[in-house]
Structure 1
Amino acid sequence: MWIQRQLRLSAVRRGFHLITQDIVGELPELAQVRVGILHVFIQHTSASLTINENADPDVRVDFETAMNHAVPEDLAYIHTLEGPDDMPAHVKASMMGASVTIPVGDGRLQLGTWQGIYLCEHRDRGGSRNVVITLNGKSI
């Protein structure tokens, strides 16, 4: 089985946002997969995806703090046409990555107990974001 869909995520504020349920909600066929892989790819260069803790919201705040420390906005960037948060957003997106791949088994994502899929919004006003979700697997 191969399924591919494009999901448009609503604009969110800068930061790290759990989107696991948005992804699962787009794939009712997931329940029929005995074994497979889900690939999630973001079609943007100033936002990224990652997997991390899904329980404590403080983790999301700390992620934003750490990324802002690692990639400050006040460096002497050359690419500044789209605002002071744009080039740092590109750097953060490259560091974090444009996709995640999750094993699927017995009709569900095989994420760990405390894992979730994050949309990492690196712009102050990034707008809506598109992700392509591709499910490949063997039906139950």
Structure 2
Amino acid sequence: MRQVSSILSFETPGRSLTDITRAMADWLDEAGISEGLLTLLCRHTSASLLIQENAAREVRGDLLTWLDRLAPEGPHYAHDDEGPDDMPAHLKATLTGVNLQIPVIGGRMALGTWQGIYLAEHRAMPHRRQIAVHVFGE
């Protein structure tokens, strides 16, 4: 058994779902693990990771709109140290999660046909986000 790990950085444009599937597939290819388990961890409390449909753009827009309705900006939060989107971003990250585990089969992530990996930026402004990646296997 072998394991490989790294920390990858991604620029986000502000509130969005950034497709990082290709970057993860390229990293996995370089790691040279053909069978195992890939783990991803978003190292932030106001951004998160999702596996979601990668075909219809409307899905991403609808998800962002839905999250905004669940955790709207406003003066009703005690925590607003970094602005009105601060606490809503933490809530959205709590709802969507910061880690993923994906089986690796035949050197590829075992994602479904219409699945992609997305870095969800919950803050309004652009950020540089870090994802810790680890694969364990043969």
* TM-score after normalising by structure 2: 0.94
Give 1:33's aligned residue.
Answer: 33
Give 1:4's aligned residue.
Answer: 5
Q: Which amino acid aligns with 1:117?
A: I
Counterpart mapping for 1:18-97 below 5 A: 18-30=19-31, 32-74=32-74, 76-97=76-97
Please list every run of at least 4 consecutive aligned residues from structure 1 whose deviation after the TM superposition is greater than 4 angstroms.
none
Distance 1:134 1:12 in 2: 25
Q: Which amino acid aligns with 1:56?
A: A
Give 1:109's aligned residue.
Answer: 109
* Displacement of 1:11: 2.8
Aligned pairs, number? 137
What runs of 5+ residues in structure 1 fail to find an aligned partner? Answer: none
Whether the 8 Å CA contact 1:7–1:26 is kept in 2: the answer is no
* TM-score after normalising by structure 1: 0.92
Distance 1:120 1:126 in 2: 12
Q: Which amino acid aligns with 2:49?
A: L
Give 1:99's aligned residue.
Answer: 99
Q: Which amino acid aligns with 2:12?
A: A
* Displacement of 1:73: 0.9
Distance 1:16 1:29 in 2: 25
What is the CA RMSD across the aligned residues, in angstroms?
1.3
* Displacement of 1:80: 1.0
